[in-house]
Amino acid sequence: MVIDTKMLGLLLRDSDIYSILEKALHGDRLGFKDINYLMKSQDTHLIGLVADRIRKEIVGDTVTFIPNQILNYTNICTVRCDFCAFYRNSGDEDSYTLNPSQVIDRAVKAWSQYNTKQVLIQGGVNPEISIEYYEEIFHGIKEKTKNLAIHGLSTSEIEFISKKERVSIKEVLQRLQNSGLDSIPGAGGEILVDRIRKKIGRRLSSVNGWLRVMEEAHKLNIPTSATMMYGHIESETDRAKHLLTIRELQKKTGGFMAFIGWNFESGSTKLEQDGLVTHSSGGMELLRIVAAARIVFRELIRNIQSSWLTNSISMAQIALINGANDWGGTLYDEEVIPATGKQVRDIKTQEILHSIKNMNRPIAERDNCYKILRYL
Protein backbone atom coordinates (compact mmCIF):
# COMPACT_ATOMS: atom_id res chain seq x y z
CA MET A 1 0.00 0.00 0.00
CA VAL A 2 1.37 3.44 -0.91
CA ILE A 3 0.35 6.22 1.43
CA ASP A 4 0.74 9.98 1.26
CA THR A 5 0.75 12.51 4.06
CA LYS A 6 -2.97 13.17 3.68
CA MET A 7 -3.84 9.49 4.02
CA LEU A 8 -1.43 9.19 6.89
CA GLY A 9 -3.19 12.07 8.59
CA LEU A 10 -6.47 10.16 8.36
CA LEU A 11 -4.93 6.91 9.53
CA LEU A 12 -3.12 8.49 12.42
CA ARG A 13 -5.62 11.03 13.60
CA ASP A 14 -5.62 9.59 17.10
CA SER A 15 -2.11 8.24 17.21
CA ASP A 16 0.42 9.83 19.52
CA ILE A 17 3.24 9.11 17.06
CA TYR A 18 1.68 11.18 14.29
CA SER A 19 4.18 14.03 14.52
CA ILE A 20 7.13 11.60 14.51
CA LEU A 21 5.90 9.72 11.45
CA GLU A 22 5.11 12.97 9.72
CA LYS A 23 8.71 14.11 10.28
CA ALA A 24 9.92 10.78 8.92
CA LEU A 25 7.79 11.16 5.80
CA HIS A 26 9.20 14.64 5.25
CA GLY A 27 12.72 13.26 5.33
CA ASP A 28 13.75 14.69 8.71
CA ARG A 29 16.34 12.85 10.78
CA LEU A 30 14.77 11.65 13.99
CA GLY A 31 16.51 12.36 17.28
CA PHE A 32 16.85 10.03 20.27
CA LYS A 33 13.56 11.04 21.90
CA ASP A 34 11.58 10.27 18.73
CA ILE A 35 13.34 6.97 18.08
CA ASN A 36 12.77 5.92 21.66
CA TYR A 37 9.09 6.76 21.29
CA LEU A 38 8.84 4.74 18.08
CA MET A 39 10.47 1.75 19.73
CA LYS A 40 7.94 1.88 22.56
CA SER A 41 4.90 2.47 20.37
CA GLN A 42 2.38 -0.31 19.77
CA ASP A 43 1.35 1.22 16.42
CA THR A 44 3.53 -1.30 14.60
CA HIS A 45 1.36 -1.38 11.51
CA LEU A 46 1.46 2.40 11.03
CA ILE A 47 5.21 2.57 11.60
CA GLY A 48 5.56 -0.20 9.02
CA LEU A 49 3.45 1.67 6.46
CA VAL A 50 5.63 4.76 6.76
CA ALA A 51 8.84 2.71 6.71
CA ASP A 52 7.70 0.93 3.58
CA ARG A 53 6.97 4.17 1.80
CA ILE A 54 10.48 5.38 2.67
CA ARG A 55 11.88 2.05 1.45
CA LYS A 56 10.10 2.55 -1.87
CA GLU A 57 11.50 6.07 -2.27
CA ILE A 58 15.06 5.10 -1.39
CA VAL A 59 15.59 1.66 -2.94
CA GLY A 60 12.45 0.92 -4.94
CA ASP A 61 10.59 -2.38 -5.06
CA THR A 62 13.36 -4.77 -6.01
CA VAL A 63 14.09 -7.47 -3.46
CA THR A 64 17.72 -8.55 -3.49
CA PHE A 65 19.35 -11.74 -2.22
CA ILE A 66 22.72 -13.46 -2.38
CA PRO A 67 23.54 -17.14 -2.82
CA ASN A 68 25.54 -17.56 0.36
CA GLN A 69 27.20 -20.22 2.46
CA ILE A 70 27.75 -19.81 6.19
CA LEU A 71 30.87 -21.69 7.20
CA ASN A 72 31.59 -22.05 10.92
CA TYR A 73 35.23 -23.18 11.05
CA THR A 74 35.49 -23.79 14.82
CA ASN A 75 33.13 -23.87 17.78
CA ILE A 76 35.88 -23.51 20.38
CA CYS A 77 35.56 -20.11 22.03
CA THR A 78 37.01 -18.66 25.20
CA VAL A 79 34.64 -15.68 25.36
CA ARG A 80 31.67 -17.85 26.48
CA CYS A 81 28.90 -15.30 26.03
CA ASP A 82 25.78 -16.05 28.09
CA PHE A 83 23.60 -15.68 24.99
CA CYS A 84 25.53 -18.21 22.89
CA ALA A 85 24.68 -21.90 22.55
CA PHE A 86 27.26 -22.52 19.85
CA TYR A 87 30.57 -22.33 21.72
CA ARG A 88 32.41 -25.27 23.25
CA ASN A 89 35.49 -25.50 25.45
CA SER A 90 38.61 -26.98 23.99
CA GLY A 91 38.53 -30.68 24.91
CA ASP A 92 34.72 -30.96 24.90
CA GLU A 93 33.60 -34.07 23.07
CA ASP A 94 31.71 -32.10 20.44
CA SER A 95 34.25 -29.31 19.98
CA TYR A 96 35.81 -29.01 16.54
CA THR A 97 38.22 -26.98 14.46
CA LEU A 98 38.44 -27.48 10.72
CA ASN A 99 41.89 -27.29 9.23
CA PRO A 100 42.47 -24.73 6.43
CA SER A 101 42.09 -27.28 3.62
CA GLN A 102 38.79 -28.49 5.03
CA VAL A 103 37.47 -24.91 5.13
CA ILE A 104 38.70 -24.23 1.59
CA ASP A 105 37.23 -27.50 0.30
CA ARG A 106 33.82 -26.74 1.80
CA ALA A 107 33.78 -23.25 0.33
CA VAL A 108 34.87 -24.48 -3.10
CA LYS A 109 32.34 -27.31 -3.04
CA ALA A 110 29.39 -24.99 -2.31
CA TRP A 111 30.67 -22.53 -4.93
CA SER A 112 30.84 -25.16 -7.67
CA GLN A 113 27.63 -26.93 -6.62
CA TYR A 114 25.37 -23.96 -5.84
CA ASN A 115 27.16 -21.08 -7.55
CA THR A 116 27.50 -19.23 -4.25
CA LYS A 117 28.60 -15.61 -4.51
CA GLN A 118 29.67 -15.23 -0.90
CA VAL A 119 31.00 -17.34 1.94
CA LEU A 120 30.42 -16.05 5.45
CA ILE A 121 33.28 -17.42 7.52
CA GLN A 122 32.81 -17.18 11.24
CA GLY A 123 33.67 -19.23 14.31
CA GLY A 124 34.72 -18.69 17.91
CA VAL A 125 37.66 -17.05 19.63
CA ASN A 126 39.97 -20.03 19.54
CA PRO A 127 43.40 -19.34 21.10
CA GLU A 128 44.99 -22.08 18.99
CA ILE A 129 44.31 -20.23 15.75
CA SER A 130 46.82 -17.73 14.41
CA ILE A 131 46.44 -15.09 11.72
CA GLU A 132 48.26 -17.37 9.25
CA TYR A 133 45.33 -19.81 9.49
CA TYR A 134 42.95 -17.16 8.10
CA GLU A 135 45.48 -15.96 5.53
CA GLU A 136 45.86 -19.50 4.23
CA ILE A 137 42.09 -19.99 4.01
CA PHE A 138 41.40 -16.66 2.31
CA HIS A 139 44.25 -17.09 -0.19
CA GLY A 140 43.14 -20.66 -0.91
CA ILE A 141 39.51 -19.71 -1.53
CA LYS A 142 40.47 -16.85 -3.84
CA GLU A 143 42.91 -19.01 -5.74
CA LYS A 144 40.37 -21.75 -6.38
CA THR A 145 37.25 -19.69 -7.01
CA LYS A 146 38.34 -16.20 -8.13
CA ASN A 147 34.93 -14.57 -7.77
CA LEU A 148 33.70 -15.93 -4.43
CA ALA A 149 33.48 -13.03 -1.97
CA ILE A 150 34.74 -13.60 1.56
CA HIS A 151 32.51 -11.99 4.17
CA GLY A 152 34.21 -12.88 7.37
CA LEU A 153 34.94 -12.76 11.06
CA SER A 154 33.25 -11.03 13.96
CA THR A 155 34.78 -8.09 15.77
CA SER A 156 35.58 -10.50 18.66
CA GLU A 157 37.67 -12.71 16.39
CA ILE A 158 39.44 -9.69 14.90
CA GLU A 159 40.16 -8.14 18.31
CA PHE A 160 41.50 -11.46 19.56
CA ILE A 161 43.85 -11.88 16.58
CA SER A 162 45.16 -8.39 17.26
CA LYS A 163 45.87 -9.28 20.92
CA LYS A 164 47.35 -12.68 20.14
CA GLU A 165 49.62 -11.41 17.37
CA ARG A 166 50.42 -8.16 19.24
CA VAL A 167 49.64 -6.06 16.22
CA SER A 168 47.12 -3.26 15.75
CA ILE A 169 43.56 -3.84 14.54
CA LYS A 170 44.53 -1.92 11.41
CA GLU A 171 47.40 -4.28 10.68
CA VAL A 172 45.23 -7.36 11.23
CA LEU A 173 42.62 -5.97 8.85
CA GLN A 174 45.23 -5.06 6.24
CA ARG A 175 46.73 -8.55 6.32
CA LEU A 176 43.31 -10.17 6.07
CA GLN A 177 42.29 -7.82 3.28
CA ASN A 178 45.50 -8.60 1.38
CA SER A 179 44.69 -12.30 1.73
CA GLY A 180 41.21 -11.90 0.26
CA LEU A 181 38.82 -10.66 2.95
CA ASP A 182 36.19 -8.58 1.15
CA SER A 183 33.73 -7.50 3.81
CA ILE A 184 32.88 -8.01 7.48
CA PRO A 185 29.56 -9.03 9.05
CA GLY A 186 28.14 -7.10 12.01
CA ALA A 187 28.54 -9.94 14.51
CA GLY A 188 29.70 -8.85 17.92
CA GLY A 189 27.41 -5.80 17.89
CA GLU A 190 24.58 -7.41 19.88
CA ILE A 191 23.30 -4.32 21.73
CA LEU A 192 25.65 -1.36 21.75
CA VAL A 193 25.05 -0.46 25.38
CA ASP A 194 27.86 -1.51 27.74
CA ARG A 195 25.59 -2.03 30.77
CA ILE A 196 23.54 -4.62 28.83
CA ARG A 197 26.56 -6.24 27.18
CA LYS A 198 28.09 -6.86 30.60
CA LYS A 199 24.89 -8.51 31.83
CA ILE A 200 24.76 -10.89 28.85
CA GLY A 201 28.35 -11.94 29.34
CA ARG A 202 29.90 -10.14 26.41
CA ARG A 203 33.44 -10.19 27.74
CA LEU A 204 35.21 -9.22 24.55
CA SER A 205 34.30 -6.44 22.20
CA SER A 206 32.60 -3.82 24.33
CA VAL A 207 30.83 -0.99 22.54
CA ASN A 208 34.07 0.86 21.86
CA GLY A 209 35.78 -2.31 20.69
CA TRP A 210 33.06 -3.04 18.14
CA LEU A 211 33.00 0.55 16.91
CA ARG A 212 36.79 0.69 16.67
CA VAL A 213 37.02 -2.45 14.52
CA MET A 214 34.20 -1.21 12.29
CA GLU A 215 35.74 2.24 11.88
CA GLU A 216 39.18 0.83 11.07
CA ALA A 217 37.61 -1.49 8.51
CA HIS A 218 35.71 1.37 6.89
CA LYS A 219 38.87 3.46 6.70
CA LEU A 220 40.52 0.61 4.78
CA ASN A 221 37.53 0.44 2.42
CA ILE A 222 36.38 -2.85 3.86
CA PRO A 223 32.59 -2.50 3.97
CA THR A 224 30.68 -4.08 6.85
CA SER A 225 27.16 -4.86 8.01
CA ALA A 226 25.59 -3.53 11.18
CA THR A 227 23.49 -5.89 13.27
CA MET A 228 21.37 -5.86 16.38
CA MET A 229 20.53 -8.88 18.53
CA TYR A 230 17.24 -8.08 20.21
CA GLY A 231 14.72 -9.87 22.39
CA HIS A 232 16.83 -10.71 25.47
CA ILE A 233 17.22 -8.32 28.41
CA GLU A 234 17.52 -5.04 26.52
CA SER A 235 14.84 -2.34 26.76
CA GLU A 236 13.30 -0.36 23.92
CA THR A 237 15.50 2.55 25.00
CA ASP A 238 18.60 0.37 24.58
CA ARG A 239 17.43 -0.48 21.07
CA ALA A 240 17.02 3.22 20.28
CA LYS A 241 20.53 3.93 21.56
CA HIS A 242 21.86 1.07 19.46
CA LEU A 243 20.38 2.45 16.23
CA LEU A 244 21.64 5.95 17.00
CA THR A 245 25.17 4.73 17.74
CA ILE A 246 25.29 2.98 14.37
CA ARG A 247 23.89 6.03 12.61
CA GLU A 248 26.55 8.28 14.17
CA LEU A 249 29.39 6.08 12.94
CA GLN A 250 27.78 5.78 9.53
CA LYS A 251 27.60 9.56 9.22
CA LYS A 252 31.34 9.61 9.82
CA THR A 253 32.51 6.69 7.66
CA GLY A 254 29.71 5.59 5.32
CA GLY A 255 31.03 2.03 5.54
CA PHE A 256 27.91 0.12 6.64
CA MET A 257 26.21 -1.55 3.70
CA ALA A 258 23.23 -3.00 5.53
CA PHE A 259 21.42 -3.41 8.82
CA ILE A 260 20.20 -6.78 10.08
CA GLY A 261 18.15 -7.31 13.24
CA TRP A 262 18.55 -10.77 14.77
CA ASN A 263 15.91 -12.17 17.06
CA PHE A 264 17.63 -13.75 20.07
CA GLU A 265 17.23 -17.53 20.24
CA SER A 266 17.47 -18.52 23.88
CA GLY A 267 17.56 -22.35 23.60
CA SER A 268 20.50 -23.95 25.47
CA THR A 269 21.99 -20.59 26.46
CA LYS A 270 23.00 -19.48 29.96
CA LEU A 271 20.50 -16.62 29.74
CA GLU A 272 17.75 -19.22 29.41
CA GLN A 273 19.18 -21.48 32.12
CA ASP A 274 19.32 -18.50 34.50
CA GLY A 275 15.68 -17.74 33.70
CA LEU A 276 16.49 -14.30 32.28
CA VAL A 277 14.90 -15.02 28.91
CA THR A 278 12.01 -17.43 28.71
CA HIS A 279 10.59 -16.99 25.24
CA SER A 280 11.23 -15.56 21.84
CA SER A 281 10.21 -11.93 21.24
CA GLY A 282 7.99 -12.72 18.24
CA GLY A 283 7.00 -11.16 14.93
CA MET A 284 5.69 -7.77 16.05
CA GLU A 285 9.08 -6.90 17.55
CA LEU A 286 10.78 -7.87 14.31
CA LEU A 287 8.48 -5.65 12.29
CA ARG A 288 8.94 -2.70 14.64
CA ILE A 289 12.72 -3.06 14.49
CA VAL A 290 12.88 -3.43 10.70
CA ALA A 291 10.56 -0.43 10.26
CA ALA A 292 12.35 1.72 12.84
CA ALA A 293 15.72 0.90 11.26
CA ARG A 294 14.43 2.01 7.84
CA ILE A 295 13.07 5.26 9.29
CA VAL A 296 16.20 5.99 11.33
CA PHE A 297 18.80 5.11 8.68
CA ARG A 298 16.90 6.28 5.58
CA GLU A 299 19.46 6.65 2.73
CA LEU A 300 22.41 6.45 5.15
CA ILE A 301 22.12 2.67 5.27
CA ARG A 302 20.17 1.73 2.19
CA ASN A 303 19.77 -1.98 2.77
CA ILE A 304 17.66 -3.45 5.54
CA GLN A 305 17.51 -7.23 5.65
CA SER A 306 14.43 -9.35 6.27
CA SER A 307 16.11 -11.50 8.93
CA TRP A 308 14.54 -14.73 7.72
CA LEU A 309 17.14 -16.88 9.45
CA THR A 310 15.76 -16.44 12.96
CA ASN A 311 12.25 -15.36 12.02
CA SER A 312 11.12 -17.75 9.27
CA ILE A 313 10.37 -17.29 5.60
CA SER A 314 6.81 -16.10 6.25
CA MET A 315 7.92 -13.34 8.61
CA ALA A 316 10.64 -12.33 6.14
CA GLN A 317 7.95 -11.74 3.52
CA ILE A 318 6.08 -9.45 5.90
CA ALA A 319 9.31 -7.62 6.82
CA LEU A 320 9.66 -6.85 3.11
CA ILE A 321 6.47 -4.78 3.26
CA ASN A 322 7.56 -3.07 6.47
CA GLY A 323 10.73 -1.37 5.24
CA ALA A 324 13.12 -4.22 4.40
CA ASN A 325 14.45 -4.57 0.85
CA ASP A 326 16.96 -7.40 1.07
CA TRP A 327 16.21 -11.04 1.72
CA GLY A 328 19.71 -11.85 2.93
CA GLY A 329 21.40 -15.02 1.83
CA THR A 330 20.60 -18.57 0.99
CA LEU A 331 22.12 -20.77 3.61
CA TYR A 332 24.33 -23.79 3.56
CA ASP A 333 26.17 -25.38 6.49
CA GLU A 334 25.09 -22.95 9.23
CA GLU A 335 25.64 -24.31 12.76
CA VAL A 336 25.09 -21.42 15.18
CA ILE A 337 21.28 -21.30 15.22
CA PRO A 338 20.85 -25.13 15.23
CA ALA A 339 22.96 -25.14 18.44
CA THR A 340 20.02 -23.44 20.21
CA GLY A 341 17.75 -26.33 19.23
CA LYS A 342 15.92 -24.33 16.54
CA GLN A 343 15.84 -26.16 13.25
CA VAL A 344 17.02 -24.15 10.24
CA ARG A 345 16.77 -25.75 6.85
CA ASP A 346 19.21 -25.02 4.06
CA ILE A 347 17.27 -22.66 1.86
CA LYS A 348 18.03 -22.72 -1.82
CA THR A 349 17.67 -20.01 -4.42
CA GLN A 350 14.48 -21.53 -5.90
CA GLU A 351 12.74 -21.29 -2.56
CA ILE A 352 13.65 -17.63 -2.17
CA LEU A 353 12.50 -16.88 -5.69
CA HIS A 354 9.18 -18.55 -4.99
CA SER A 355 8.65 -16.60 -1.74
CA ILE A 356 9.39 -13.26 -3.38
CA LYS A 357 7.43 -14.00 -6.56
CA ASN A 358 4.42 -14.59 -4.33
CA MET A 359 4.73 -10.95 -3.33
CA ASN A 360 4.77 -9.74 -6.90
CA ARG A 361 8.03 -7.83 -6.45
CA PRO A 362 11.06 -7.72 -8.80
CA ILE A 363 13.88 -10.03 -7.69
CA ALA A 364 17.60 -9.58 -8.21
CA GLU A 365 20.70 -11.50 -7.26
CA ARG A 366 23.34 -9.25 -5.69
CA ASP A 367 26.99 -9.45 -4.70
CA ASN A 368 28.37 -9.09 -1.15
CA CYS A 369 28.43 -5.28 -1.58
CA TYR A 370 24.73 -5.19 -2.53
CA LYS A 371 25.45 -4.47 -6.19
CA ILE A 372 22.78 -6.01 -8.39
CA LEU A 373 24.24 -8.76 -10.60
CA ARG A 374 21.15 -9.84 -12.47
CA TYR A 375 17.37 -9.69 -12.37
CA LEU A 376 15.55 -13.02 -12.27
Nearer to ligand SF4, 70 or 352 (CB): 70
Closest to 35 measured CA to CA, from 218, 200, 228, 188: 228
Minimum CB distance to ligand SF4, residue 189 (Å): 11
Backbone angles phi, psi at 228, to 5 degrees: -145, 130
Residue 47 CA to residue 37 CA, distance in Å, equals 11
Asked if residue 160 binds ligand SF4 (CB under 6 A), the reply is no
Minimum CB distance to ligand SF4, residue 124 (Å): 4
Minimum CB distance to ligand SF4, residue 79 (Å): 4
Q: Is 271 helix (H, G, I), strand (E, B) or coil?
A: helix
Asked if residue 79 binds ligand SF4 (CB under 6 A), the reply is yes
Residue 126 CA to residue 366 CA, distance in Å, equals 32
Kindly write out the interface string for residues 226-255 of this chain, putting x where it contacts ligand SF4 by CB under 6 A and - elsewhere.
------------------------------
Asked if residue 80 binds ligand SF4 (CB under 6 A), the reply is yes
Per CB under 6 A, which region of 29-37, 43-51, 79-87, 307-315 contacts ligand SF4?
79-87
Asked if residue 124 binds ligand SF4 (CB under 6 A), the reply is yes
Nearer to ligand SF4, 86 or 297 (CB): 86
Nearer to ligand SF4, 92 or 248 (CB): 92
Nearer to ligand SF4, 140 or 231 (CB): 231
Minimum CB distance to ligand SF4, residue 27 (Å): 37
Instruction: Return the H-helix or E-strand segment holding 130.
Output: none
Q: Is 48 helix (H, G, I), strand (E, B) or coil?
A: helix
Asked if residue 125 binds ligand SF4 (CB under 6 A), the reply is yes
Kindly state the DSSP code that residue 339 receives in the 8-state scheme.
G
- Kindly provide the b/e burial profile for residues 239-270, where b requires at least 16 CB atoms within 10 angstroms of the residue's own CB: bbbbbbbbbebbeebebbbbbbbbbbbbeebb
Q: Are 179 and 135 in contact (CB under 8 A)?
A: yes
A 10 A CB-CB count for 298 gives: 20
Nearer to ligand SF4, 63 or 77 (CB): 77
Residues near ligand SF4 (CB under 6 A) are 77, 79-81, 84, 86-87, 124-125, 156
